[in-house]
Structure 1
Amino acid sequence: MFDRFVRHLVTRGVALATFGSEHLESFFCDVENRCASGTTTRLRYVKLIDRLGRHLVDVGLRDSNPAARFARPAAWPEDEPEPLFLDPAADAALRAYAQARRGDDARLCRNRAVVALLRGAGLAAAELRAARRRDIVIAGIRPQVRVPKQGARLERTVALPASWTPPIRAWQQAHTLPESALAFPAPRTDDKPINDVPLRAIVGDALDAIGFMAPDMSPRVLRKTFARRWHAAQMRIEDAIVNLVADNGRVHWALIIGPLMTQIDKGETFGRRGQGDTEVKRA
């Protein structure tokens, strides 16, 4: 979100320290034109930029916050559903469920790989549907997924924790296709992507298998779980770096940041719970 705002400022020839309310007007107008009606995207940008403006004033880079007048009348809708994501225990259960097993048929092998990629890389359903085999690199010490540009989302590369790679490897070995082929084609085809109906069923079956029950049993739960774990891990890294800089000692890298990065790569790091977050535990 922040990158999109910065790109807008660059096209207008202004910077974070110099943009004004007229630039915000044009930016919010662009956001509204690109987003479906009834969403809170504009409101989220207002809140984000208002916090940014207040911070820039606090550190002395700006004299005023031009986003303040947009933020004053802005309020979160009271009927907006709370975000759902797996707590650490349910997340671990899902990782265990997704692991390939001897005797899995082609359908179950595919389903486990779908769950692993959605949760491990935090892909949206549309991104998984469009993924090609060449985009998923699980060989080497840094497994990763390349997500091509889609709409306003720029191309990005997402690290894939090693603990989520075995089911993906099993699917690729069982379903041999050229590197340019779709990673998850529709049943009985090789050139048409799997659609949203079976994707929802695959994720719903996986969540049901680990005892997770919620109003939303779609791929969004796995994406939000990924986002929650990533954000919590970033918070812990920032805390560790603060300690490292404060003490100015290499020992903190060995004792704090090094092991923490290893835990993150393995998908084992979970952070503290923040206010306003909702964790849905297993039934």
Structure 2
Amino acid sequence: MKNILLLSDFSTNSENAIHYAMHFFKNEKCTFHIMHIHKIGSFTSDDLMNSPKESIYESITKEPKEKLEALVENLKSTFRNANYSFETIIDFDVFIDAINQAITNHKIDFIVMGTNGASGVKEVFLGSNTINVVRKVHCKTLIIPEGYTFTPVKKLLLPLDPHDAIGGKQFIELLGFIETYKLHLDVLRVNPNKENPKLEQEDLSNLALFDCSYHVVNDVPMDFAISSYMQTNTIDFLALFVKNERFLEHFFSKANTKINLSKISKPILVLHP
């Protein structure tokens, strides 16, 4: 039984990510915890005065509760999967605190979310909520691009910069993911400045027992290497090893190891140390 946390702000993009999850996990027994994190500040005194017989909690949760219930009914009727069960969560905590609490309380295995929220305000790459989840939440996270339609997943690309190593918890979790969903692994080692010539030998040694494709690209920026590889190879998924202390540098700097996620049109699996 898997516990999947689905984040919903009732936007088209979050609903699209939820639908992706319905397809992706269709062969597994899952409980989907659909969570809406509400901002207290969006309510006014008029909202509370309209329902004087209800408690404050009931007043401010009524609308999101109805929306979540309608969403669940729609998912049940659309996907009709006997392996699926649904729970709803409404929280008023700080966004990241609410997610971390849900992960602990419900033993969450995966988070699934879209790249941008209902506000339509986009960060440079992902959207502020998605960025914060990647940076601050230590749970396997599936990020679904805006408007992406599910297709069967067969090949996963793992790009590695000079600071990434094959091994440790992240790689073990990735291997488990690949085995569960019967994926082929493509490894792309990118050395923009030829920092460590021994990396290729180490990689080949660590990958000797695995059926995978391995490629090395030298003297090319990470961003360009990934983009070119995905254009010339059929890739259905991208996996990223995220080291929190390097996150901003890794994604936002002008360095050759930068990854511009706005150019990645496929779902992304984020793994933490």
TM-score (norm 2): 0.26
Instruction: Kindly name which structure, 1 or 2, has the bigger radius of gyration based on alpha carbons.
Output: 1
TM-score (norm 1): 0.26
Q: Which has the higher strand share?
A: 2
